[in-house]
Amino acid sequence: MAKVLMKGNEAIGEAAIRAGCKNYFAYPITPQSEVAEYLVKRLPEEGGVFLQGESEVAVGYMIFGAAGAGERVMTTSSSPGISLMSEAISYIAAAQCPAVFVNIVRGGPGLGGILPSQGDYFQATKGGGHGDYHLLVLAPDGVQEAVEMTMQAFTLAEKYRGPVMIMGDGLIGQMMEPVEFPDDLKTEPTNKDDWATSGMDFRKSKKRNLVKSLFLDPTALNDNNLALKAKYEQMKKEEVQFELYNGDTDYQILITSYGTMSRVCRTAIDMLKEDGIEVAMLRPKTLFPFPEKAVFEAACKDSCKAVISIEMSMGQMVEDVERCVKGRRPVEFYGECGGDIPSPEKIIDIIKELL
């Protein structure tokens, strides 16, 4: 298929269709409403359903219901909406159902603003809802990657039978870039019949499936948490994705940055190179599992004097970076989170202060 020009939000919608998602439930919120606007036109053409819930709380449980029945299902929202869905996300993780959540992050806390932000890093990677669970979190840096990650998200959700999140920011959702769609996702044989409440007649089975998150027996609850933990450990081994930019040089500074912010850092690195200053960037593409080993190794390169995490937040991912660097290099931070995105010049000034 030839390239088309798409907004991130539209491209995520189209990618879901190509991943075989026929169920999309959502509630509108800036800056991601175009996903719904796109899918309300496209899904009926594919025999799918878009249903607007009466709130994000309702949408969270609509997702749980469809996922529990073994359907490919997605919702999209932005920060306050994800907060409202977080209870359902915890239930879905506990009940081990595959579902895709997209958070096109806006400024917070509270109602915040409608401009881009990365202030939901903690929410996405450390909780949001209650209990011992994790989301597998993918963070695209542009429209093309948003497409690829959305399609991957469905595969990963089914592989791990759990919720997967795409974490973009307002700019990823709103900007347009030329994009090419990979081949449609094949429907692989799954073990859905073993657990999904798709109907005994439908499955031609006499076995009753039960999807639940309530385990009153302490041993059963502990076993369920151990099963979840085993999945997260497997993710850490098999699903870590990252990019090391300008890493083959004798860089003096290592930037850690992701999403939109990493695009600005990339430009700053190219401009610094012209001045003879080598800086590298480690860009996590999975925020959970975090590229722990890669961050440690990149920070410990002999030429590297310091690490700086640059984020559109007040300092969230930097805590993971510090954890991974293990005190071997100083870890600095720079962030803005009102909605204005720091310019490449600003980043250059910050880096020069570190030299």
Partner 1 sequence: MGLDFTGIVVVAGNYGSGKTETAINLAVACRRTGMDVNIADLDLVNPYFRTREARIPLEALGIQVILPDTQYMFADLPILAPAVADIIRQPSDLTILDAGGDDVGVTVLGALASVLQDKPVRMLQVINAFRPFTGDVAGCIKIKQEIEASAKLTVTGLVSNANLMDETTGSHIHQGYELVKSVADHAQIPLEFITAVPGILTERDLAHFSCPVLPIDRKLLFPWKRTLKT
- Min dist CB 152 to partner 1, Å, is 22
Work out whether 221 is an interface residue with partner 1 (CB under 8 A).
no
CB atoms within 10 A of CB 175: 16
Dig out the tokens for 251 from the structure: 């860089």
Work out whether 56 is an interface residue with partner 1 (CB under 8 A).
no
Closest CA to 337 of 114, 108, 126: 108
Phi-psi region of 39 (alpha: psi -120 to 50; beta: other; left: phi over 0): alpha
- Min dist CB 150 to partner 1, Å, is 16
Among 194, 223, 233, 345, binds partner 1 (CB under 8 A): 345
Nearer to partner 1, 57 or 176 (CB): 176
Work out whether 171 is an interface residue with partner 1 (CB under 8 A).
yes
The footprint of partner 1 on residues 280-309 (CB under 8 A) is none
Work out whether 272 is an interface residue with partner 1 (CB under 8 A).
no
Stretches 107-115, 150-158, 283-291, 320-328: which one binds partner 1 (CB under 8 A)? Answer: 107-115
DSSP, collapsed to helix, strand or coil, labels residue 124 as: helix
What gap in Å lies between CA 287 and CA 138, rounded to an integer?
Answer: 6
Query: CA-based Rg of the chain, rounded to a whole angstrom?
Result: 21
Nearer to partner 1, 40 or 221 (CB): 40
What gap in Å lies between CA 26 and CA 57, rounded to an integer?
Answer: 10
Dig out the tokens for 298 from the structure: 């990149």
Phi-psi region of 110 (alpha: psi -120 to 50; beta: other; left: phi over 0): left
> CA 147, 25, 1 angle in degrees (round to 5)?
25
Number of residues in contact with partner 1 under rule CB under 8 A: 34
Work out whether 128 is an interface residue with partner 1 (CB under 8 A).
no
Work out whether 319 is an interface residue with partner 1 (CB under 8 A).
no
Report yes or no: 298 and 254 within 8 Å, Cβ to Cβ: yes
What gap in Å lies between CA 236 and CA 230, rounded to an integer?
Answer: 10
The footprint of partner 1 on residues 23-42 (CB under 8 A) is 30-31, 34, 37-38, 41
Among 260, 286, 313, 316, binds partner 1 (CB under 8 A): 260
Stretches 1-9, 219-227, 245-253, 321-329: which one binds partner 1 (CB under 8 A)? Answer: 1-9
- For partner 1, the binding residues (CB under 8 A) are 3-7, 10, 14, 30-31, 34, 37-38, 41, 113-115, 170-171, 174-178, 260, 263-264, 266-267, 339, 341-345
